[in-house]
Structure 1
Amino acid sequence: MIMQTVKNRVETTTGGTIDIIDYAPPYKADFKRLNLEWIEHYFCVEPIDEVLLSNPESYFLQPGGYIFFATCCGQVVGTCALLKHPDRGFELSKMGVTKSYRGMGIGRKLAETAIEKVRSLDEPQIFLETHSKLIPAVNLYKHLGFRPKAFPGGCSERYQRANLYMVLVL
């Protein structure tokens, strides 16, 4: 199910057009590359990262989730995923934009695409786990309407690095 790229375009400052597209198997390595880029820059890669990033079809798509990519001039420059949780709905996860394309609104467009998808499924909310030192990301999430909440169970079930849980009520 391919998203309509015409309505999901962003013009970059370099004049290129950014298209938001759905996951396809040829993009598997890009999903891992883009996420390792930001994780390795700010944190240590955790064992769960390696498992999820190496198996996106099994861990994101097969349980009912989605993966989106931002492309420009034939290159994949950003990604985000929706991870379906049987008890909590959808998690906005694994969002990253390659360094040379940051600050152009690509992360915002990826997040908006994911939010729109969850809204179209009549889900009541979407949540995410992040770290407070990722200031541009946290500011984006707040601007999109996400609000900090207590972690269910008191802390992240999956990531040692996550210290902030946010929810957007749809």
Structure 2
Amino acid sequence: MLKIGIITGSTRPNRKSLKIAEELKKWADKREDALYEVVDIADYNLPMYNEPIAALYSQDYQTPEAIPWAEKINSLDGFIFVVPEYNHGLPSALKNAIDYLCHEYGNKVAGSVTYGSQGGIRAGEVLRLVLGGLHVAVISTSLALSILTDFDSEDNFIPEEIHQTIFNKLLDRLLAWGEPLKVLRDNEPTHK
């Protein structure tokens, strides 16, 4: 079975990404077609990127926090990024977490669930560009949530039923790409 990480895109104390990720995991677990887990970037306490450039390519990380992060990303076959839109782009915490690694992302698949006042779509487009540079296959099916209609006045996540249908289509695509990419990775020579 493929292992899919549902990765939070923010570390702010009042963030919505963790609530959304936990709900998405419940939806995904009903399918029983892969192993899904919430990966909260806040748990890794990554400092601002400060690795020597050689560490990025050699995977000989100097920052202690980078090692468990690399191990987690390496253990996954695919990703669902839960991304808020900050200033028409990605949150700096997510970009920082992505920048710490290179090889661990390669030849894997990703999808996005974005949110913001206009669905966070621009954040998803920025994420697509960043991940493409790391040899991640980013599927086109995505889920865009509105902070105006998908949350109540007490900030509880109350998604429309259609969102679960769209999310299932996202997972169908993610797994369809994930299987052949896993075969490709399993047959690659190691270069470390």
**Same fold, TM-score > 0.5, yes or no:** no
Higher helix proportion: 2
Give 1 or 2 for the bigger CA radius of gyration.
2
TM-score (norm 1): 0.36
Which one scores higher on RCO, CA 8 angstroms, separation ≥ 6? 2
